Homo-oligomer: A and B are copies of this chain.
Amino acid sequence: MRQSQLFGKTTYEISKDEQSVNAQLLIRGGFIHKEMAGVYTYLPLGKRVLSKIEDIIREEIDAIGGQEILMPALQKKEDWKTTGRWGVDIMMKVKTFFNKEYGLGWTHEEVVTPLAKKYIKSYKDFPFFVYQIQTKFRSEKRAKSGILRGREFLMKDLYSFHINEEDLNKFYNKAKDAYFKIFDRVEIKDKTYLTFASGGAFSKYSHEFQTLTSAGEDIIYICNKCNIAVNREIIEDLKQSCPVCGNKNLKEKKAIETGNIFKLKTRFTEAFNFKFLDKNGKEDIVLMGCYGMGLSRLMGTIVELFNDENGIIWPKSIAPYQVHLVSIGKDERAIKESEKIYKSLQMEKIDVLYDNRNESAGVKFKDSDLIGIPLRIVISKKTLESNSVEIKKRDRDGFKLVGINKIVASIKRGDINNT
Contacts and interface: CB of A to CB of B under 8 A. Distances in A.
B104 A97 contact: no
A98 B41 contact: no
A102 B75 CA distance: 17
A43 interface: yes
What's the number of copies of this chain in the assembled complex? 2
A137 interface: yes
B98 A69 contact: no
Contacts of A39: 72, 74
A92 B96 CA distance: 5
Nearest to A8: B119
Contacts of A43: 69
Interface of A: 5-9, 33, 35-36, 39-44, 46-48, 50, 65, 67-76, 89-98, 100, 102, 104, 111, 115-116, 118-119, 128, 130, 135, 137, 139, 141, 151-152
Given A74-B152, A111-B35, A130-B7, A94 B97 contact: no
A236 B197 CA distance: 68
The SS class assigned to the A binding surface is mixed
Contact of A42 (B70, B92, B137): B70
Contact of A92 (B44, B95, B151): B95
A55 B9 CA distance: 27
A128 B42 contact: no
B74 A36 contact: yes
B98 A70 contact: no
A128 B93 CA distance: 36
B151 A74 contact: yes
